[in-house]
Amino acid sequence: MPSPATVDEYIAGFDPEIADRLRRVRAEIVDAVTAASGRPPEEKIRYGIAAVMLGGRYALHFAGWKKHIGLYPVPAFDESLDSAVAPYRAEKDSVVFPHTADLPYDLVGRIAAAIAAQRVAAKD
């Protein structure tokens, strides 16, 4: 099977339940990046997974796996957001949301908004 060329193709390659979760994760990320930058972001496939871009660089990657959905890279944040992210942190720069639990879409949006704000501030 060929590698997906678009984020839509990437998501379509999953079982319907996982694809629905990925679509909602994508929407949270795209909405946050759009709010931070004032325009819809570019989306790409990078390293075989979905990426939402900001200013020509990636803002956040997201991926579906057998047991979870992951976000990459997720840096350290202020104390309140970092404590909300902590239960999902798998490595110092990634978070995972198991398929066996409800996915905290609001937290995905907060993560994406914080990363987008950092990127926009760094450009100024």
Q: Tens digits of per-residue pLDDT, 9-36?
A: 999 999 999 999 999 999 999 999 999 8
Identify which of 24, 46, 118, 29 has the alpha carbon closest to the alpha carbon of residue 75.
118
Res. 120 pLDDT band, cuts 50 70 90: confident
* 3-state SS, residue 43: strand
Does position 85 have pLDDT exceeding 80, yes or no? yes
| 58 vs 10, higher pLDDT | 10
pLDDT digits (tens, 9 = 90+) for 30-55: 999 999 889 999 999 999 999 999 98
Place of tokens 């609001």: 106
Asked if the 7-123 domain carries CATH number 3.40.50.300, the reply is no
Residue 66 pLDDT class (50, 70, 90 cuts)? very high
CA distance 22 to 37: 22
Determine whether 21 is exposed, middle or buried from the number of CB atoms within 10 Å of its CB (0-12, 13-18, 19+). Answer: buried
